[in-house]
Structure 1
Amino acid sequence: MLGAMDPWYERNVLSLLSLSSDVLCQTGCKDTDVSEGSGSVERLPLLTQLVLYYCRHADQPVLVPLYQAELTLVGGERRKEVFVHSLELGHSAGARAVKAMGSASKRFGIDEEHEAVPLTLSVSYNRVAVSGRSQWIDTEIVCTSVNLQKASKKPEHLCDDSRIETLQLTMTEVTKRNCSKSKKCHNQHISVSEVKVDKVQVSGGDDGSTFAVCLDQDEKKFIQSVTRCDVSLCCKPGSSSDWRSYKLLPGQVQPLHPSYCSLLCLPITSFSAS
């Protein structure tokens, strides 16, 4: 997320992750830090130096709006999760969790989209048009994966009546599935559709389909046996989604942009202000 938002972080920190651990753990030639009171000199690895430099010198404030995913599990249990950047649902989420098992993943195998078992899902989403108007669409599709990712918006494209954040909804739909006695079943024709949205509801079809959900591409935030997933922006308690009807309480700080007034945001600092 930081790499997508801050070019300096992407260029100087994120790009280093492709290097070997031997390079990342090398210490600098010069003394980088001196422990207070002891007089001893501590040499820090290259990656640590860059991360510390970023934390100490990045000074541009950025508010990152949070999204919430309200999940309904088999049996009726409900839970609410928060994500910053992306949500994966279905095959792509399951494949990511299997890969996280390391050596154990070889026993389970990781199928491609063409070999994944499709799900019949009911998908409803609020489509956001360029004009700012929205349209609620209900559809039932046979798909392998449904993914959501923040669609970045340049500051110069923001205006007072525009939505501050949108999500890129990507649906991998199976239009034809081939199954023969001699060969393994596979998805012969796959169609990928993308649309900008701000609210999404995904639920299993009448056949009782369940799916997996992975938040922010983090294998530790992986939930299985989900029957329904509702995604929307996080708003401050008691506030409206329309910032013009939201009034600050005494002692609250005015946000950088008025459209953030009613949204629950994660405050960070970076070298490049969003």
Structure 2
Amino acid sequence: MNPTENGEVPIGPEWDGLQLQGNADMELLDAICSCGSINRAAKMLGLSYRAAWERIDRLNNLSRKPLLERSTGGRGGGGTQLTRAGKEFLERYRLLHREYQRMLSHLEGGAARGQKNLALMKRLNMQFSARNAWCGEILEISQGQVNAQVAISLQGPAVLSAMVTRQSLNSLALAPGREVLALAKASSVIIGLDLRPEQVGAQNLLTGQVRRIVAGPAQADVTLELPGGSTASGVVSLEGLECLGLAEGDEACALIKATDILLATVQ
């Protein structure tokens, strides 16, 4: 993988040489499917609750459709279950894992649904230093003399705007309808309250519900759940967290500059 001059990373492993390294993620999905709870699934696999949620966020954000859904209330007190897309992907992963060589031959024959699931497996096998990684589809591209602005649809109504050089636009072969990965470090995501696009200079203003706050010695990691199932994570100083008065369940905003979003493609 060689980054372009603007930091965008073209990713193009040959899929017939795919190494299945996602067993840990699949075990977590399988455990959630069995017990209907992320907390119980984490204990079953010897994971911390936070580590399990971070894996789930990554899985959901890299899928074009949510793999999990949460329910609240009811006799059992609510829980987490795999969506139809999640169950389908897990079953196909099992099948591919059991019969790898035979399935590769089948996929080469052009099974569209199998190809989509294989593309998801590629994304899950990638390792990122960025805390936020989303899979999306390019809606439109506005080109300037030097740079181009790329609008990307995520799960649900959320749309991201990324700024790339025209050279990167060409080297990544970006075009409307193309599937891309959008990456952003948590340190580049600003968490705020009651903000409107006209109030801020950042091109991206994502509104969601605070799902998780993990406080450290000097700062806290805040994760928002966006409409549609994606998440966005940012860091806030402990003093800032106190000033904002943030609590889990509150509505909040995530601000991200278009220049802070990196794009990658899967070939």
Q: Please say whether Structure 1 and Structure 2 have the same fold, judged by a TM-score greater than 0.5.
A: no
Q: Which one has a bigger Cα radius of gyration? A: 1
TM-score (norm 2): 0.23
- Taking structure 1 as the reference length, what is the TM-score of the superposition? 0.22
Q: Which has the higher strand share?
A: 1
Higher relative contact order (CA 8 A, sep 6+): 1
Pick the structure with more helix per residue.
2
